[in-house]
Each structure stands twice: as structure tokens, then as C-alpha cells.
Amino acid sequence: MEAPRLPHAVSSPTSPCEEVIKNLSLEAIQLCDRDGNKSQDSGIAEMEELPVPHNIKISNITCDSFKISWDMDSKSKDRITHYFIDLNKKENKNSNKFKHKDVPTKLVAKAVPLPMTVRGHWFLSPRTEYTVAVQTASKQVDGDYVVSEWSEIIEFCTADYSKVHLTQLLEKAEVIAGRMLKLSVFYRNQHKEYFDYIREHHGNAMQPSVKDNSGSHGSPISGKLEGIFFSCNTEFNTGKPPQDSPYGRYRFEVAAEKLFNPNTNLYFGDFYCMYTAYHYVILVIAPVGSPGDEFCKQRLPQLNIKDNKFLTCNEEDGVMVYHHAQDVILEVIYTDPVDLSLGTVAEITGHQLMSLSTANAKKDPSCKTCNISVGR
């Protein structure tokens, strides 16, 4: 049986308890903090002996839910009517102590069989560390509560987006992808020193590196997938890559068929914006059977390389033909090393537009176009 869902804050001229019961069939009150200090007008009776939860276990963790269970002594167990769950982000354990006294600060659940599921994107975000502690409580006839002492404090971390969540992002991205334009090359911009280093220390082969934390907070590829970033967008009027770049004045260009062909798999990785009108889609190209391919198969939605809304590869009259979506900026991650001898390195003639850089960029959590209804 699931714990009731509680929104961020309820504040009204009526008591918060009445307001939440009205809307959610849920009781919400101002509770003691974990040190046992009661807020003024808390409505909690003097502490009596109720069993204190111990040996707390957290399981079935997702990006916006978890199951919680614990052990407790049988003494007075039949008097328990509710559980109070104090949930805080790890870096802000004492935040509840300073909230307004009329705002409910804890999750309040009727006593149900354990384990109990706690879920809700109002208060849970993906890939975030939390602390949790539990009290047992007994509601009295006058509406007051008798409570146990707080349990020990447990730490846990929520999970990344699942394939289900990423599929929701994928569907949103498909809506705005726009018409398809032809492309012929993938390209990667860096400073001259980068390419000199590759030649001198890596035998001319660019090496995969761990993806940064740009994009959706719950993306399963951030900080985990190793790959090499490429771009493939073209200018509408020329059909060629733009001459401006935020990443350096030297560009490696490689024929599209060298990296993307029937021997590679294509995956959807993310969809985000950075408080701007334009949106980014991250795609992953992985050689079939490679470590990167195995990583992606378990975590990302796979796309049909011949028929999708973002990047396609088709054979026409014996020649491979490539298209990319016009209305999103594609960031392509290739998961294997790439030798510079496969293409060319040359200086671009445009500007270095640092404002377009996506390095560790934070996603706009308020954008209705690229967010889904789970924790941000």
C-alpha cells in the first residue's frame, strides 16, 4: 500500500491539516524536529512510550520513489495509527527546523503494512542524496498525537531516469524535431593544443571520456557513459557545418559513414534546454557489440537508424545518405576511439561563441517543452 502523496507546502487561513485532508485525504501537521524540539502550537501531546523504528531498510529506489520498512518492538504496537517520515536532501538536513509553523514539513502516512512506498515528484528528485528518519504516532480523540522518539537517520540516493522516463522525453523531443536536412560529415571543435596532445600522447586517436553533468539531472549517461562528442547540424542555406563554435577554432571533420552505418546502433540519451528558445537532443552512436553499446542497451531507448525523427542513415542507389533534424541542436556521442586519420583537422573562419557551450549546463526545470512529470 502506498504512502499518501504530499505537495511542497500548504498554507492557508484554515489549518494545514484541514486543507490537506480536504484535497488529498491526508493528514499533515507540524511535527517535532529530529532532536525532539516541538514547534509552537504543534498540537502534539507529551511523548509516551511508542515503539521506536529501528533497522530501517530502503529498497526499490527509482528516480522519484522508494520503499521503506523497519523493525519495531511489539509493545504498544497496536496503538500506532500513523507514521511520520522526515525526508530531507542530504546537504540540507536541518531545513525543516526553519520553515513557517503553519506549513506541513513532514510526510504523514496512516499506519499500513510495511514495506511502504513513498513517491512523488513534488519532493523527490533523481540522482539526489537524501536522509530519512521515522517516528510512530498515535492519534488521540482530541486530534493531538502521541509520538515515539525519532529513529536513526538513514542516507540513500535516488536513481537515474529509467527507460520509461527517457521514452517520455523522447516523445517530447519528437514533437519539435522539425523537418530533416541532409548532412555529410560529423565534426568536433577543439583548441589546437587538444589535437596536438592527441597526436603526441594517444597515437593520433581521440579517446572517449566520461560525459559531464550537462542536461537532465536524471540522465543515466551523465558522469557514466564514455564517449567523444560530435556535432552534425548544418546551416540551412549552405548545407554545411556552421563556421562558429563555442569549443575551439580547430575542427575535425569526418565523413558521416565512418561513424554512423549499419554496423552501429543509435540511442536517445537526453532532451533539454538552458533557459533558451532552442533545445538540445543527445544521441549516442555505438558500434554493435562494443562496451558502449552494451551500456546503452540497458539504459537508453534504441532508435531505428533508418527511421527516426533526429538522425537517419539510408542507402540510396548504393550510396549512404544522411539526414538530421532541423529544429533541435544534436549532440552526438560516439563511444569508441576515433583516429584523426579518418578525417581532416583545419582552422575554422568563424567566431568562438562561448555562450553556446553546453559544458555542465543546467537544464531549465520550468520548461514545459522538455520536462516530464517526475523529479527534476
Instruction: Report domain extents, the chain.
Output: 54-158, 163-356
Q: Read off the pLDDT of each residue in 103-120 and give the average, rounded to a whole number.
A: 80
Give the side-chain half-sphere CA count within 13 A for 5.
11
68 C-beta neighbours (distance < 10 Å), count: 24
DSSP 335: -
* Paired residues of 107 in beta bridges: 85
Helix, coil or strand: residue 162: coil
Helix, coil or strand: residue 272: strand
User: Residue 201: what residue type?
Assistant: H
Q: CA-CA distance, 239 to 233, in Å (whole number)?
A: 9
Q: Read off the pLDDT of each residue in 181-191 and give the average, rounded to a whole number.
A: 94
Q: How confident is the prediction for the chain on average, in pLDDT?
A: 82
Please tell me the predicted confidence (pLDDT) of residue 45: 46
pLDDT over 90, % of the chain = 56
The CATH homologous superfamily for domain 54-158 is Immunoglobulins (2.60.40.10)
Could you tell me the pTM of the whole model?
0.79
Q: What is the pLDDT of residues 334-355, one digit of tens each?
A: 999 999 999 999 998 866 555 5
Q: What is the pLDDT of residues 78-97, one digit of tens each?
A: 889 999 999 888 865 454 44
Q: CA-CA distance, 17 to 294, in Å (whole number)?
A: 50
Q: What cell was used for 296? A: 546503452
Please tell me the predicted confidence (pLDDT) of residue 360: 63
